[in-house]
Amino acid sequence: MTYEGLAATGFALTETGPGTGIFKGSFKMPSQICNEDGTALISPTGGSVQVWYHDFRDALGRSVVVGLTSQTPQSSQTSTQSYSTQQLAEIPTHKISINPEMTDNLDRPLFEKPSVGKNLNFVTEISNNDNQKTQSYSYIVQVKDEDDKVVYLNLIDGNIDPGSKKTAEISWIPEFPGKYTIEIFVWDKMGVALPLAQKTKYSVDVVSK
């Protein structure tokens, strides 16, 4: 699908190979561009370029879009950038901070290896550090097995008032022993899904009862 901006001119980021997650693209910056009001010509030197990557759809069918802002070179009009999907997805775009914690089935901090059939809780305090804007969010927990296959995915939506905090919690019950990777995301739930904070990642060993 083609979107506005450079994409409308035929520019594209091309993946370097099947499943690499690294995209490359080249474009030439003009010597002058219009200002935001369209009333004057200005130099793009020292400005910034925003890259938006339209990825898969989430569990609710919404388009997942992640972005990155990069400063343009000072001495050249040609810019070549390489970005991985992980780099793009980990760029915070709002004044949101998170404090995640894993707890056991008794809501105690997890100090021992979790066992099959017992609740593993992902409790995260989400803080809205913006004193003016109410922020809508989707709190997402994704669990992958040793083969990098998603075995669990869940999300809850919410809103945080300016300058306040809210606690979000999602539980997972492991069915099989093994090594798992847990990824915790907080995305903007309005329109396209944009990351509000850096992804949190855990590795856990689930043991038999």
- The range of the structural domain enclosing residue 39 comes to 5-89
pLDDT in tens, 104-128: 777 777 767 888 988 899 999 999 9
CB atoms within 10 A of CB 34: 11
Mean pLDDT over 22-30 rounds to 72
Give the residue from 55, 89, 123 where a domain finishes: 89
Q: Are residues 63 and 27 in the same domain?
A: yes
- The tally of domains found in the chain comes to 2
**Position 200 pLDDT exceeds 90:** no
Give the residue from 71, 89, 107 where a domain finishes: 89
Report the Cα 60 to chain-centroid distance in Å. Answer: 16
Total-model pTM: 0.56
Q: Are residues 68 and 170 in the same domain?
A: no
Q: Give the pLDDT band of residue 145 (cuts 50, 70, 90).
A: very high
CATH number at residue 143: 2.60.40.10
pLDDT in tens, 45-77: 666 665 666 555 555 555 555 555 555 554 444
For the chain, give the percent of residues with pLDDT over 70.
63
Q: Are residues 58 and 111 in the same domain?
A: no
Which of 96, 93, 92, 98 is closest to 168 using CA atoms?
A: 98
Q: Are residues 133 and 70 in the same domain?
A: no
Q: Give the per-residue pLDDT at 90.
A: 47
pLDDT in tens, 129-138: 888 889 889 8
Give the residue from 54, 89, 124 where a domain finishes: 89
For the chain, give the percent of residues with pLDDT over 90.
23
Q: Are residues 69 and 125 in the same domain?
A: no
For residue 143, give the H/E element and its range: strand 135-144
